[in-house]
Structure 1
Amino acid sequence: MVVLDATSAREVLDRQPFARLIGTELLAFGDGVASLAIPIRPELGQQFGFVHGGVLAYLADNALTFAAGTVLGSNVLTGGFSITYLRPAAGTRLRAEARVTGATRRQAVVHCEIRSEDGGAEPVLCAVAQGTTRAVERELG
């Protein structure tokens, strides 16, 4: 198992073309926790002007996997997750906080909360997700 530090985790994120496309940033990484952020811009919206649910799902998926990577190592993939949308996401930035709630040697269960931020206002909880990740044995490219 190759253990990641925050610098290596940022390099992994930077190798994801979709993450670069939407501007994903790794804010925190370590000890079962990962935090990711995406700047909100019009291209990420749906017809009512809120952030598209697919963007929230991507953010949850990536945050879950990065949090799991802190305990399972660098070769992890999402096994599945569910997301519940609570409120429309708007503002200037989305921030996902994911925390491992339980893990074995090869699998982790992770909880994630996504908040929208808008300057100095109190962040708004938009969605919650829970998922499982699995360590894979082969080297991922």
Structure 2
Amino acid sequence: MTGLDLETARKVLDSQPFSALLGARITAFGDGGATLEIDGREELRQQNGFMHGGVLAYAADNALTFAAGTALGPAVLTGGFSIQYLRPATGVALVARALVVHTGRRQAVARCDLFTVDAGGAETLCAVAQGTVLNASSS
């Protein structure tokens, strides 16, 4: 365990200007997992009204990295990730839930499920991602 907690994770997220621009918030952090949420504002949509794929990729990247931080500590960087879009992201919010599936000394592998949330609170899986996060302090 890293000794990090949800309040610390929120401070880290709040210190990222791009995260602030998107209005991202971290709602769960610990035990190998992290959840990031973003409201489905109009300015985050593409021309067909769906949430832009770049917003989903951002959410996956940050959720994967925060989840890995629960295992590796605060000095982490994304080594790489892939994302598969399953259906257009519609709804009033986006939720990215990441979970570490393997941890080594220098890196962690995590997966992330991304859901859209409708006005009634129902979630629909819209994308899945997997990534490798590196311990930056061991580089």
TM-score interval for Structure 1 and Structure 2 normalised by the shorter chain: over 0.9
Counterpart-to-counterpart distance in 2, 1:119 and 1:31: 30
Matched AA of 2:114: I
Unaligned runs of 5+ in 2: none
Residues 102-138 of structure 1: per-residue CA shift (max 9 Å, x gap):
0012100000000000122521100000000001118
- Aligned: 1:137 with 2:105: no
How many residues were matched structurally? 138
Task: Find the residue that maps to 1:128 and give its secondary structure.
Answer: strand
Give the deviation of 1:2 after TM superposition.
Answer: 6.0
Whether 1:40 aligns to 2:45 is no
Structure 2 CA distance for aligned equivalents of residues 105 and 9 of structure 1: 21
Structure 1 portions without partners, runs of 5+: none
Write the deviation string for residues 36-62 of structure 1: whole angstroms up to 9, x where unpaired: 000001101111110010000000000
Kept in 2: contact 1:94–1:114 (CA 8 A): yes
Q: What per-residue deviation string (whole Å, max 9, x for no partner) do you get for residues 48-105 of structure 1?
A: 1100100000000000000000000000000000000001001110000000000012
The structure 1 segments of at least 4 consecutive aligned residues displaced by more than 4 Å after TM superposition are none
**Whole-Å Cα distance in 2 between the matches of residues 55 and 32 of structure 1?**
23
The answer for the alignment partner of 1:73 in structure 2 is 73
Q: Structure 1 length normalisation: TM-score?
A: 0.94
Identity %: 59
Q: Secondary structure at the match of 2:137?
A: coil
